[in-house]
Structure 1
Amino acid sequence: MTIVYDIAVVGGGIMGCAAALEMAAGGMRPIVLEQSDIGQGASGVNAGTLSLQIKRVKLMPYALKGHHAWARMGAAVGFKKTGGFTLAFTEREAELLTERQTLKAKAGAPIEFVSTKRLRNVEPNLAQKVVAASYCAEDGYANSSLTGQYFRGRLCDEAIEYQERCQILAIDRGASYQLTTSRGVIYAKRLLLAAGAWIKTAAALLDVHLPVDARINTVSVTERMPALISSVIGHATGLLTMKQKANGTVLVGGGWQGRGRPQEGRGQVMASSVMPNIALAQFAMPGLSKARILRSWTGFEANVPDFYPLAGALPGFDDAFVLGCVRGGYTIGPYIGQLMGDFILGREPELPLFDPGRDFDEDML
């Protein structure tokens, strides 16, 4: 007997899994299809930073809700609330910091400006050249490498079917959606495309063009070091995130770009990006100059021209949906996935979604 699922979710990252869990809780029968392993795309290779200080103002309500979702997951995802400082080293950077963090605080983030004396009392190993700093007690991190394990377990707990190593080859629309995959044919009444940087390719199978591009963010990790910092550290420009794990390793990121395209598989690390990223980290924390970098890697982050999410009905379809391109998707992902699940269930989402059919020329900031 042919099984026709209520919905096929293409993409087994944080957002796709969170949406599937919400829909299953609402009585639907979803199936999750992932081209790799659950949670091993962008969801599993980012730095795991959960900082409200680096989120866009308009997305702050979603980031706050997402942050609370990670806190509820707790130890299962390696959640740590450490507090976080964002630093400025010049007067121009201080002006930028003040402008940006003031707006974020007005949007609801518990951000305050702190004296350099307070900063040095908490983090004495940071550079003495800091001229201004902001602080958010809610900032912290999770262990992104645990993402897949956590969500795979949740899918199993809720008896939600999933297929890994399942490449989508074709999508045909008739009485139901017929998805031809590398593991066979799947039938579903509805469709949710939540494939991250691969959303554009998936939508093209339905002859829908989405203006999706991809950033190739780089993350590096050091060898184990003596205790240097206890907080998440950022920079006013957004070009640095830094945290030290319990095992002593330091993770360094900040959106520095590698090379490649999602269709080609994993991106390539570029020395021309890693070196200035590490140099900035060493400038902020001189003790890091004694550390060896053990590994650097990349992860794709999808975006559209206005850098706001795609979350809603796929243009031209009333039974197909798209979810992705969320800037700060690791933090926001669990919550916006829940919102999408509610939307597909016919419920009014707690916060507004982001129409994928909007006019990007007018909406660009």
Structure 2
Amino acid sequence: MSQIEYDTAVIGAGLMGAGTALFLARSGMRCVLLDRSGVCSEASGVNAGTLTMQMTRADLIPYAIKGWEMWTNRQEWLGINPSVVAAPGLSLAFTEEEVATLEHRAAARREHGAQIELVTASKARSIEPGLSTEVMAASYCPMDGFAKANQTGFALHQALKTARVDIHGSYPVERVEPEDRGYAVIGQGEVVRARRLVLAGGVWLEEMLNWLAVRIPIKTLVNQLAVTERIEPVMRTVIGIASGLLSLKQFDNGTVVIGGGWQGKGSRTTGSTQVIPENLIGNVRLAVHAIPNLVHTRLVRAWCGFEAETADAMPVIGEVPGMDNAFLIGSIHSGYTSGPFMAKLLAQYILGHEPELPLFDPSRLIDNQ
């Protein structure tokens, strides 16, 4: 492997790294995808898989819409049909203050193209009959949904193989060295050489950039999630609440995934995570408050997944500052929704095309300390 030269080496096989490699390969580039685990086997494989406009930052709505359209037409770009459900979404308000929050949030997102409207409690219950009678109002969006994150990894892996991307899982990269013709990626005593480099390491982007002596701080969120036993249908929409501390959806097998950004403990250095019981209890209480029919449902499992966040909570997509033919992508809020489109944008840029929407220049976040 040390003598093979690629057009592009992508480090990080999550949704955005794998997506970038896929789009580049389909345009004729010879690509290698390197990851210490495998395709979508870390953060991209353990998240809730929510496809959402309501939980996406207003400035990112145009990207989320494009991403949602790609997910709902997944066979056009993925070539395979993982389990993706397009469903309406409701964000609930239980107080007058929360109603005002939803009104403000919906207006901001409508300005960027999202189809979100405030509806009465009775209208919300006609959309989702299982809602709590304490709901005062809700914001409604027809463009929400969810995917099974683990199945997406399998689908992406097959698409990458079909596109003839060389995939090297179990390949922990130790360092990257710039060379005259590109970059040498070194790990496990082996060297992979490529003319271009893409860093797509999620919460590990900060450490990856350190290989190139570039400093961009990345914050690590440790989001807790839980899944229930299989039960009869109790909901048919994606449910959130005004505070953002709840995300609910029921899969076709009857299980309900409960999330909402409640924090656990974890270390990106060791990769270890730990659920905080008090936060799990708080999350589950909110779920039952929103959908009372969940009250007697048993939890099967709870876990944590990492999420990356920059200092301004906006993505980094573009050139690595000060480096030729090196790029990075990541730290995208509600990144599962817009991830495929963000990967497509970076591939367009690398290929010399004008991206459909603007990128997010990483140089704005350089730490010169």
Counterparts of 2:108 and 2:366, CA distance in 1: 24
- After superposition, give the CA deviation of every residue in 1:239-263 in whole Å (9 maximum; x if it has no partner): 1010111111111100111111211
Counterparts of 1:266 and 1:151, CA distance in 2: 25
User: How much does 1:27 deviate?
Assistant: 2.1
Q: Which residue of 2 aligns with 1:122?
A: 127
State the TM-score, normalized to the length of structure 2: 0.95
Contact 2:38–2:170 (Cα < 8 Å) also in 1:
yes
Question: Would you say 1:71 and 2:72 are equivalent positions?
Answer: yes
- After superposition, give the CA deviation of every residue in 1:26-85 in whole Å (9 maximum; x if it has no partner): 221111001111011211111111111111010000000000111112682211112111
Q: Which residue of 1 aligns with 2:363?
A: 357
One-letter code aligned to 1:4:
E
Counterparts of 1:142 and 1:170, CA distance in 2: 34
Question: Would you say 1:198 and 2:204 are equivalent positions?
Answer: yes
**How is 1:124-163 mapped onto 2 (pairs within 5 angstroms)?**
124-163=129-168
Q: Which residue of 1 aligns with 2:307?
A: 301
Counterparts of 2:302 and 2:231, CA distance in 1: 17
Q: Which residue of 2 aligns with 1:51?
A: 52
User: How much does 1:191 deviate?
Assistant: 0.6
User: How much does 1:351 deviate?
Assistant: 0.3
Counterparts of 2:199 and 2:18, CA distance in 1: 12
User: How much does 1:312 deviate?
Assistant: 0.6
Could you tell me which of 104, 107, 111 is aligned with 1:106?
Answer: 111
Question: Would you say 1:244 and 2:241 are equivalent positions?
Answer: no
Could you tell me which of 189, 213, 219 is aligned with 2:195?
Answer: 189
Listed as ranges, the gaps of 5+ residues in structure 1 are: none
- SS for the counterpart of 2:308 is strand
Could you tell me which of 253, 274, 279 is aligned with 2:259?
Answer: 253
Q: Percent identity?
A: 41
Counterparts of 2:204 and 2:365, CA distance in 1: 21
Contact 1:24–1:158 (Cα < 8 Å) also in 2:
yes
Q: Which residue of 2 aligns with 1:88?
A: 93
Between 177-186 and 342-351, the greater mean CA deviation after superposition: 177-186
CA RMSD of aligned residues (A): 1.4
Contact 1:215–1:303 (Cα < 8 Å) also in 2:
yes
Counterparts of 2:98 and 2:189, CA distance in 1: 52
Q: Which residue of 1 aligns with 2:332?
A: 326
Q: Which residue of 2 aligns with 1:310?
A: 316
Contact 1:266–1:299 (Cα < 8 Å) also in 2:
no
- SS for the counterpart of 2:92 is strand
Question: Would you say 1:60 and 2:61 are equivalent positions?
Answer: yes
Counterparts of 2:18 and 2:336, CA distance in 1: 13
State the TM-score, normalized to the length of structure 1: 0.96
Q: Which residue of 2 aligns with 1:6?
A: 7
Distance 1:32 1:105, change over 3 A: same
Question: Would you say 1:338 and 2:344 are equivalent positions?
Answer: yes
Counterparts of 2:354 and 2:127, CA distance in 1: 44
Q: Which residue of 2 aligns with 1:22?
A: 23
Counterparts of 1:360 and 1:167, CA distance in 2: 25
- SS for the counterpart of 1:358 is helix
Counterparts of 2:341 and 2:272, CA distance in 1: 27
- After superposition, give the CA deviation of every residue in 1:102-158 in whole Å (9 maximum; x if it has no partner): 111121011122221122223222110011111111111111111210110111111
Q: Which residue of 2 aligns with 1:284?
A: 290
- After superposition, give the CA deviation of every residue in 1:305-346 in whole Å (9 maximum; x if it has no partner): 100001011111121111000111111110000100111111
User: How much does 1:359 deviate?
Assistant: 4.8
- SS for the counterpart of 1:307 is coil
Listed as ranges, the gaps of 5+ residues in structure 2 are: none
User: How much does 1:360 deviate?
Assistant: 7.3
Counterparts of 1:266 and 1:39, CA distance in 2: 17
**How is 1:215-234 mapped onto 2 (pairs within 5 angstroms)?**
215-234=221-240
Between 169-178 and 252-261, the greater mean CA deviation after superposition: 169-178
- SS for the counterpart of 1:242 is strand
Counterparts of 2:233 and 2:185, CA distance in 1: 51
One-letter code aligned to 2:74:
M
User: How much does 1:89 deviate?
Assistant: 0.2
User: How much does 1:183 deviate?
Assistant: 6.6
Count of matched residue pairs: 361
